[in-house]
Copies of this chain bind each other. A is one copy, B any other.
Amino acid sequence: MALNSDSPAVPTLLREINERRVLDVLRINGALHAAEIARLVGLSKPTTAALLRGLIDVGLVDEDRPGDLDSKRARSVYSAATKIGISLAIDIGARYLRAATADINGVQLSEVSVAVDEMNLKQLLASLNAAVDRALSDAASLHEDIVSIVIGTPGVVDKRTGQIAIAGTIGDLDGIQLGEVISREFGVEPHLENDINLVAIAELEKGLGRGVLDFAVLSIGTGLGAGLVLNGKLHRGHRGAAGEVFYVPFGDPFDPHHSSTNPAGGGLTELAEQLASTSVASELKKPYTTVSILDAARRGDEFARMVVEHEAERISLYVASISAVVDVELVILAGGIGRQADVLLNPVRKMVEQLLPFPPRVEGTSLGESAVLVGALQLATRKSQEIIFRERSSAIDNDFVTVDR
């Protein structure tokens, strides 16, 4: 039973709340005339008109007099300003480096993808700079326009220090170094975030997670990990390690690789090697690869189907663990293997239903390879909007002191 907020409610708080509402309405609905805004926001016309004047004064809203381009009796239409800063998203993957930009309203302006291949930090940063420069020029923007930056990366990002731990997939990547370099380069402190968490945000905003209060994204690819959305918000955990389901101690708890149950990494091919001795007919030949196995399974190859069945069992264990602990409505499979959901989905569903009395829905991701980028852009947009709003609205009234009270 603590106080909900530090400061008490004063009249200017009302203005702030209502200004935010007006901006939200404009960002959701696009250009509108004043009376329509008043109805959607729920305020009277005079008040709405005053709000709009204030927002126009600080440059957060644009007014257009379209001759009579627009409909009916409207004299002016209003829209959320666009050219007041951009957000930058960067995805540092194991095989690709991607960058994207969006305007202050979250509309994507550009996207750049560069293949990377075993490079050191110096080379990585050079590629990164090139990619960002291209993303900026494609968006007709400059370094100074960047309001916020979100970087997606494998590994656990510590909330306080920004340090990246248990990265694994990218050799000598260090969160502090990276943060400092970016910060120096762009004059903006970047926000580092675990890549799978960003996929979860992407699913929440633009994917299968829309409107779902509790769901998880289980990513099976180079590594194994999950992103959790609980009560409609990303759950990072105490040190940002939520969703590190690799550490659920199945099988021999002291095997550091959890090889008997890990469906990620080389899990699928290892499984095939192990099962090769069972003399089931197959057109598959060694060396097995993830792709060849999945393709054979799609063609109906008996041995490949058996391997996939086993893989599905392993995946189910992790789906079940997540759901047993947090009871999600939906689990979305993603990542290199998770994206091949067509052959995995049904066996996983069947198994999960046997394991749990309250099984979640299980689906394959509806987002493509740039899911991390989409999530990062989403997060960066929210940050930018908050920064710009604070900046502009405080510019109006920052001059009075209190004495008595």
Contacts and interface: CB of A to CB of B under 8 A. Distances in A.
Interface of A: 1-4, 6-11, 13-14, 17-18, 20-21, 24-25, 27-28, 38-39, 41-45, 106, 156, 165-166, 213-214, 226, 228, 230-231, 233, 235-250, 253-254, 313, 316-317, 320-329, 354-358, 360, 404-405
Given A38-B405, A42-B8, A320 B247 contact: yes
B4 A20 contact: yes
A335 to B, nearest CB: 17
A41 B317 CA distance: 51
Contact of A250 (B39, B106, B250, B329): B250
Given A324-B246, A325-B242, A357-B247, A24 B2 contact: yes
B326 A8 contact: no
A44 B404 contact: yes
**7 shortest interchain CB distances as A-B pairs:** A237-B327, A9-B17, A238-B329, A247-B324, A242-B327, A8-B42, A241-B327
A321 B166 CA distance: 18
A76 B42 CA distance: 41
A235 B230 contact: yes
A239 B3 CA distance: 30
Question: Copy number in this complex?
Answer: 2
Contacts of A10: 14
Contacts of A106: 1
Contacts of A237: 214, 326-328
B27 A1 contact: yes
Given A253-B313, A326-B326, 9 more contacts: A4-B20, A14-B14, A39-B405, A230-B235, A238-B360, A239-B327, A244-B358, A254-B354, A321-B321
B244 A327 contact: yes
A10 B13 CA distance: 10
A6 B20 CA distance: 13
A238 B212 CA distance: 9
Contacts of A231: 230-231, 233, 235
Given A237-B214, A324-B248, A3 B24 contact: yes
A313 to B, nearest CB: 8
Contact of A14 (B7, B9, B44): B9
Contacts of A248: 248, 320-321, 324-325
Given A327-B237, A327-B240, A3 B25 contact: yes
Contacts of A253: 313, 316-317, 320, 354-355
A329 B159 CA distance: 13
A405 B44 contact: yes
A326 B329 contact: no
Given A24-B2, A166-B357, A245 B9 contact: no
